[in-house]
A and B are shown apart, each in its own frame.
Chain A
């Protein structure tokens, strides 16, 4: 088999796999919609405000409820020391 044919087959295969990943994502979104709806219902029922992503610090557990400067409030001249504080960027300005 010519090298160009092999390369073309590789590209077609990779394209098909990417398309399959897209189809997988779309099928999973449909399949897991009730599960997501369950989470939305829990948020509604309990009056929750945030996703539970980082539990290490108060201001990263409830990202939307924290003050912008809370990382620096622990003591004067305190620097941010929780890794999640540097992963999640500052909330938007009003």
Chain B
């Protein structure tokens, strides 16, 4: 065993000095390789943390929501719908919800205006999400004029700003009383945005959803399970962000692998020839090349993965921020709860380290099996 370890160490010593002879090329390769892993790992860590957050935070969203669609668009529904849904066997309660969007020309941001089931403020008061308070630079006690549907201004008094910890779910929220909501948007009494349904037996949610569509053909039911699935799938490997980075990474790997597999440089071939001439076996040459691939890919993986962790969690995904912000001016300022899934890290390791190591060995095997004399003469 000791002899085996010593042999490996001598080969690693030789490999490192061989890599050092082509320092510029190998350092550049290492940096580009680490950058590819960094981009891929950043996206994987970020999407996994988001999925975990969604699972933890959205576990108690309404069991069933019923929307009304008219000509393919979400529309307000009449109060009679609430009674119809509440009358379905298995439904414990049904409540009409009022919520909508309001574009604020001053901060050029979209707000979500909502009437909570039990609004704790008085008429004329508003509870703000931390992002809105930041965008409008207001604090409790300040006045907040909002442009109503008819062009007039409705001035509300800020009662409270939700805590900064709530940023990830409530950054853009404006919580108001029912009367203020209706006068802001001109929504007539007796109509609602959607219906939140509580079902007695959780196993019957799907059945109740089916009954809703039979009873109210224009209805679109959304179950809690569907909401959970949306967040599970929206950031999986098929999602836009991951596919974008994955495609870039795969193309980069394809270029490296093609470059490696298409043959070694004359200098590398000569080196193999000399090694064989002085007594190295083909297996020794392959071992050396395997170590060469391992040194580069392990170093790149370590650098890329560690930098990605620092970038996503303490660094709040600073480099990808503009991509996520898009055109929005109200950007939720949140810190994701870190997560490092061993399965995901292992997948990333095998997807990035193994292909490179293999791509290094294959052409070397071709060169190492040729007669040393012939190799040195080329």
Residues of A within 8 A of B (CB): 2-5, 7, 10-11, 14-15, 17-18, 21-22, 24-25, 28-29, 32, 35-36, 38-40, 42-58, 61-65, 67, 69, 73, 82-84, 86-89, 91-92, 94
Cross-chain contact A25 with B226 (CB below 8 angstroms): no
Query: Interface centre among A48, A54, A65, by most B CB within 10 Å?
Result: A48
| Pick from B54, B239, B331: contact of A87, CB under 8 Å | B239
The reply to whether B324 and A63 form a contact with Cβ atoms under 8 Å apart is no
Q: How large is the interface on B (under 10, 10 to 19, 20 to 34, 35 or more residues)?
A: 35 or more
Q: Chain A at the B interface: mostly helix, strand, loop or mixed?
A: helix
Interface residues of B in 192-217 (CB under 8 A from A): 196
Is A56 touching B110 in the complex (CB atoms < 8 A)? yes
CA distance A16 to B339 in the complex (A): 17
State whether the Cβ of B61 lies closer than 8 Å to any Cβ in chain A: yes
Closest A residue to B314 by CB, please name it: A24
B367 to chain A, nearest CB (A): 24
Contact check, B166 vs A53: say whether CB atoms are below 8 A apart: no
Partner of B166, one of A4, A39, A87, A88: A39
Tell whether B148 is near chain A: CB-to-CB under 8 Å.
Answer: no
Closest to B120 in A: A45
Are B302 and A14 within 8 A (Cβ)? yes
Knowing A32-B337, A55-B171, A56-B328 touch, does A61 contact B110 (C-beta < 8 A)?
Answer: yes
Query: Closest CB-CB distance, B179 to chain A, in whole Å?
Result: 18
- Say if the beta carbon of B161 comes within 8 Å of chain A: no
* Interface CB pairs A-B, < 8 A, 14: A3-B16, A4-B9, A14-B303, A17-B302, A18-B306, A21-B306, A25-B339, A29-B337, A39-B166, A39-B169, A47-B61, A51-B169, A52-B131, A83-B327
